[in-house]
Structures are given as C-alpha cells and as structure tokens.
Chain A
Amino acid sequence: MPIIETQGLSYTYSPGTPYKKDAIKGISIKIEKGDFVGIIGHTGSGKSTLVQHLNGLLRPTSGKVLLNGRDIWENPKKIREVRFKVGLVFQYPEHQLFEETAYKDIAFGPSNMGLDGDEIDKRVRTAARFVGLKDELLEKSPFELSGGEKRRVAIAGVMAMQPEVLILDEPTAGLDPKGRDMILGQIAEYQKENGATVILVSHSMEDIARTTKKVLVMNKGSVAMFDETQIVFSRAEELQSIGLSVPAVTRIFMQLRGMGYNVGDNAYTVKQAVERLLPLLKREVGNND
C-alpha cells in the first residue's frame, strides 16, 4: 500500500470570482514508503499547491488524498494528526522562526504533539544533530544565527516531529554551494537512517539529479512525468520543451548524440558523464600510445 496516494486531485483558487485559477487538475499519484521523490516544474506549475494538499493545508476542490490508505479529510477534526505524520518545510522556513532560542523553536512541534519533556529533549537533540547544529547554538536566539543555520533550525523543527513523510519546498533556495551541499547531504542521511519518505521540491535539476530516486514533473497543473530519476532525465528533450532547463552535462550528451556519436543514454551528473565517456575516450588515447 502506498504511504501517500492522490486520486483525481484538483484545486481551484478563488472559485466563482474573475480570479478563478485551476492550480492542479486531476492528479493521481502513488508514493511508496521509503521513496525519495523530487518534484520539479516551473513557477506556477502547481508544485507547491500539490504538496500543501499532502498534509492537509489545502482541502481539495475535488479528489482525495490518502495517507496509509485513509482519506485524510475523512474526519476534518483530526487533520492536525495528519500534519504530525506529514511534515512540511516551507520555502524560506527561517522567516517563520519565532521563539527566543533555537532549542525552543525546534521543540515547538514535538511540544504540540503532547510528548513528555524527556522525549522532547531527545528529539530536539537528535534533530539538531541531523542538521549539523552544534549544541551551543541551541541556546542562541535565532537572530544570532547565520542564514544557513537558521534554515537548519527550521528544518530540524519539522524533523523533530519524526513525520512519516517529510516534504521540503525548495530547501536550498538562496544558499551558497557549501550550504546547499550540507543540507542536501543531511536530508539524504535522514532519509536513509530513518527509512523515511522524503519529497523534495526544487527548481534545481542538479539537486534533484544528485539526490532523489524518483522525479515528478509538473506542468500547467498536471503531471507531465513521474518515474525513476534516470528515466525522467533521459527524456531531456521533453523536459526542455516544457521550459525546464536540464543539467549542463545532459545538454552536452544530447548535443554529442545529435552529432551522431554513440555516447549512450543521457547523463545527468558529472560522475555519470565521466563513467560513460571515459571508455570511449580511453580507446582513443590508448591508440595514440
């Protein structure tokens, strides 16, 4: 049984007004337990609208969201529990820090779950370790932290609820390469260690290519593709046709193939490209020796 399933999910903003907009239309997807899924698409393609349905922040105009096989809106009074099970980290989550210390901010979610003090403390410290925050930072005010540290506090706050599904909306936006690599590494580790289901929304094809196992491509409110990362990136021409920019190495492979070289499938990371090209090029270098 998939951990999350949507059936014909549609959402319309401002229905019955001149500003009516169908943000997502008839989305039916299944996400299995332990999956690491990337969601890509243009601004306005419906990515954020979709993920806000998965933890019940938005209620579908039509269609259903099932969590462990049960409609999350079956009993609207219990929607809060869904939010403990499906944790959502918003874009620029550091803008939402509000407590006096980083510790208290991370503890906010678990406290709301009604856990006892010891358990809360344990979870706060575990989550802080996951995102690489040192103990001494926990007693500081969020205002004293750097942008990257604040971001990690905010992510830890959701991880501390130990949700079955962790959704992150553009967790690396605005970070430098070092901060980006650190956060992506920590998310991948969290996913592996807890067997958690993770959904990563990103504009960065490179980030998606490096971390996720499956990719959901959104276009104009519908699902354009949903498949294993490798298969999605092998359809680079289609991705480009819906205006998504593919990684530079993928473009290099497309062009080489276009020139008639048999370089194999599209590569989407530098590592893959090296592996594919090396045997072809080695032959040539060897011949010259």
Chain B
Amino acid sequence: MAIISAEKVKFYYENYENSDNQGNTPQKPVLDSIDLEIKKGEFVAVLGHNGSGKSTLAKHFNAMLLPSGGRVLVGGRNTADENEIYEIRRMVGMVLQNPDNQIVSTIVEEDVAFGPENLGVEPGEIRRRVDEALKTVGMYDYRLHAPHKLSGGQKQRVAIAGILAMRPECIVLDEPTAMLDPKGRKEVLDTISRLNREQGITIVLITHYMDEAAAADRVVVMESGRILLDGTPREVFSHVDKLRQVGLDVPQPTELCYELRKHGIPLPEGVLTAEECVAALSMLLEETYADN
C-alpha cells in the first residue's frame, strides 16, 4: 500500500519579475510531472545534484509545499486539503539539513515534547513518548542537556526523536548528514536504518552521498525536475555513465569494478560494497594464483 503518492506533480516557484501581465511564469518547472509511489515500510533514497528538484519534492510529502499541478496523497489524504494538514504532518515528519535550524527549546526533552504538545497529547502520555523516543535514538542520557552543546549527529538524533514522539508513519530527511562529520553521519544513518527495520517506519532519505543511498531498499535519481532512474541500488548504480553525466558519484567499489570491466576484466555489474568487491576480485585472483 502506498503511504505517499505523487501524481503528475508540477511545481513552479513564483517569480514576479519574469512573469507577464497575466501572471504566467514562463520559466522551467522545478518539478516536471512527477509520478512516484512510496510504499509503507520502504526505505527510499532520493539522489540528485543541487537544483535537481529533490528537496522540493520532499517538501511536498508533508504539505510544506503544495503542487502547482497534479496532487500528492499521504495515506490517501490530499495535501492540498487544509483540513488534512495536521494529520498529514503527524504522519510524515521532516528532518532538515541544518540541525541548528530545527531546535526550539533549551532542554533536549522539552524539544522532543514540542511536537506531541502541539498535537494536544495528554501530559502523562507525552512523558512516555518522549522517554521512549529518546531511548530509541540513543539520546536518553542527554535528556536534560542543552541542545546547542550537542554534536551535530546528536542534534539530528534529537530532531528525529521529536518526530518519533508524534508517532509518525514516515520520516522524510532532507540531507540530514550534509553538515556532519563521519561519526555523526554514521550515528544518524544507523538510527534511521534501525527505525525502518525494527519499527517499520517508512524512510525517505534525500542525500547526495552515494554510500548512504546504497543502504536503502530503493533509489530514485532526480534530474531537472524529473525522475531519471528508479530501482534497487544495484540496478541504479549499474548506470555508471548516466549517473556521471548528471554530476553524481557512484560508490568507489562500484566505480572500481566498472573501470576494470572497461578493460575487459569479467567482473559482475552492480557491485555496491567493499566486501562484494573483494569477493568478486578474489575469485579472479584465485584463478591467477592457481595457474601459477
């Protein structure tokens, strides 16, 4: 069952300078007729370079932006229907790139309580949800700390806890690790993978780190407001040339096998991880050594 479905979604930013007297905006749409279904429980990574439309699309998933054409349904509710906005935003939580832009309180647990308080959840239940959410992201010991003194990765996990406390069905993360160091990136990624696996929460991860995308069930590549590729990481990353053309990387192990294949070395397509690459290479090397 689809939790989010985008049907022929178009989006233009209003630009008064460029518009003619009738208010028509002639420029290219940011989103150009996007059709996309995200199933319940999926872990979907959305890749694309800056300006490809990936963040704009993500903002349609919890009604932060409304389509200029077409429609977005969240759990069957139309995001353009004002009466549904509260429920849609409860179902789909959003984590942004800069952890400092989404902290509202001076104490971690108060920050996490902000969402459920706004939903009118009764106090005892808020307490339970806040504790549970902080434990889930591994930040319970920091519940009385000041958020501004935490590391970037810790702040992002607090932001995720704030969403968890609203009991969402889906979390959309817009480049949540772009400003983090390698340790913080790992903390955040481990947390979202676990939420997906253990609690069945649908994850939409907007990123331009290919290794993060490789961990997802499905990868959607955006280019110029359209969907260029959509498939499993293995399928998507086998299109090395196409990805490079649109300014994206492929994971290093994939690139290594791709380059060797170009030289006639019979390596399989769609190698994603260092381990797979080592396995494939060692098979070939095995034969070399056996020959000697």
A residues whose Cβ falls under 8 Å from a Cβ of B = 42-43, 146-148, 173-179, 203, 206, 243-245, 247-249, 251-252, 255-256, 259, 261, 263, 270, 273-274, 277-278, 280-285, 287
> Could you say which residues of chain B place their CB within 8 Å of the CB of A179?
49-50
- Do A243 and B183 touch across chains, with their CB atoms under 8 A apart? yes
- Do A274 and B263 touch across chains, with their CB atoms under 8 A apart? yes
> Could you say which residues of chain A place their CB within 8 Å of the CB of B287?
284, 287
C-beta contact mask, B18-40 vs A, less than 8 Å → 1, else 0? 00000000000000000000000
Cβ of B255 within 8 Å of any chain A Cβ, yes or no, is yes
C-beta contact mask, B275-289 vs A, less than 8 Å → 1, else 0? 101100110110111
- Do A270 and B183 touch across chains, with their CB atoms under 8 A apart? no
- Do A256 and B251 touch across chains, with their CB atoms under 8 A apart? no
- Give bound CA distance, A251 to B276, whole Å: 12
Q: List 20 A–B pairs whose Cβ atoms lie within 8 Å, in order of A's numbering.
A: A42-B183, A176-B50, A178-B49, A203-B181, A244-B182, A248-B211, A252-B278, A252-B281, A256-B281, A256-B282, A261-B285, A261-B289, A270-B252, A270-B259, A274-B263, A277-B281, A280-B288, A281-B281, A281-B288, A285-B266
Residue of B nearest to A148 (CB): B50
Residue of B nearest to A283 (CB): B288
- Do B288 and A284 touch across chains, with their CB atoms under 8 A apart? yes
> Could you say which residues of chain B place their CB within 8 Å of the CB of A282?
263, 265
Q: Which label, helix, strand, loop or mixed, suits the secondary structure of the B interface?
A: helix
- Give bound CA distance, A270 to B181, whole Å: 23
- Do A278 and B263 touch across chains, with their CB atoms under 8 A apart? yes
> Could you say which residues of chain A place their CB within 8 Å of the CB of B183?
42-43, 243
9 tightest A-B CB contacts, nearest first: A178-B247, A248-B252, A284-B288, A176-B49, A176-B208, A43-B181, A174-B178, A255-B278, A177-B249
Cβ of B97 within 8 Å of any chain A Cβ, yes or no, is yes
> Could you say which residues of chain A place their CB within 8 Å of the CB of B265?
277-278, 281-282, 285
- Give bound CA distance, A252 to B208, whole Å: 23
A220 CB, min distance to chain B CBs, angstroms: 14
A44 CB, min distance to chain B CBs, angstroms: 9
Contact of B285 among A203, A270, A274, A280 (CB under 8 A): A280
Residue of A nearest to B255 (CB): A270
Interface residues of B in 150-193 (CB under 8 A from A): 151, 175, 178-179, 181-184
Cβ of B248 within 8 Å of any chain A Cβ, yes or no, is yes
Cβ of B64 within 8 Å of any chain A Cβ, yes or no, is no
- Do B249 and A174 touch across chains, with their CB atoms under 8 A apart? no
- Do B288 and A249 touch across chains, with their CB atoms under 8 A apart? no
- Give bound CA distance, A222 to B34, whole Å: 52
Residue of B nearest to A203 (CB): B181
Max chain B CB contacts within 10 Å: which of A173, A177, A244, A287?
Answer: A177
Cβ of B70 within 8 Å of any chain A Cβ, yes or no, is no
- Do B260 and A251 touch across chains, with their CB atoms under 8 A apart? no
- Do A277 and B260 touch across chains, with their CB atoms under 8 A apart? yes
Cβ of B198 within 8 Å of any chain A Cβ, yes or no, is no
B175 CB, min distance to chain A CBs, angstroms: 8
- Give bound CA distance, A176 to B54, whole Å: 12
B176 CB, min distance to chain A CBs, angstroms: 12
- Give bound CA distance, A98 to B281, whole Å: 53
- Do A248 and B274 touch across chains, with their CB atoms under 8 A apart? yes
Cβ of B256 within 8 Å of any chain A Cβ, yes or no, is yes
Interface residues of B in 118-159 (CB under 8 A from A): 151
A263 CB, min distance to chain B CBs, angstroms: 8
Cβ of B291 within 8 Å of any chain A Cβ, yes or no, is yes
Cβ of B69 within 8 Å of any chain A Cβ, yes or no, is no
B21 CB, min distance to chain A CBs, angstroms: 24
Residue of A nearest to B264 (CB): A285
B16 CB, min distance to chain A CBs, angstroms: 14
Max chain B CB contacts within 10 Å: which of A148, A247, A261, A270?
Answer: A270
Residue of B nearest to A205 (CB): B182
> Could you say which residues of chain B place their CB within 8 Å of the CB of A249?
252-253, 256
- Do B247 and A273 touch across chains, with their CB atoms under 8 A apart? no
- Do A173 and B179 touch across chains, with their CB atoms under 8 A apart? yes
A279 CB, min distance to chain B CBs, angstroms: 10
> Could you say which residues of chain B place their CB within 8 Å of the CB of A43?
151, 181, 183-184
Residue of B nearest to A259 (CB): B282
A237 CB, min distance to chain B CBs, angstroms: 15
Cβ of B268 within 8 Å of any chain A Cβ, yes or no, is no
- Give bound CA distance, A14 to B148, whole Å: 18
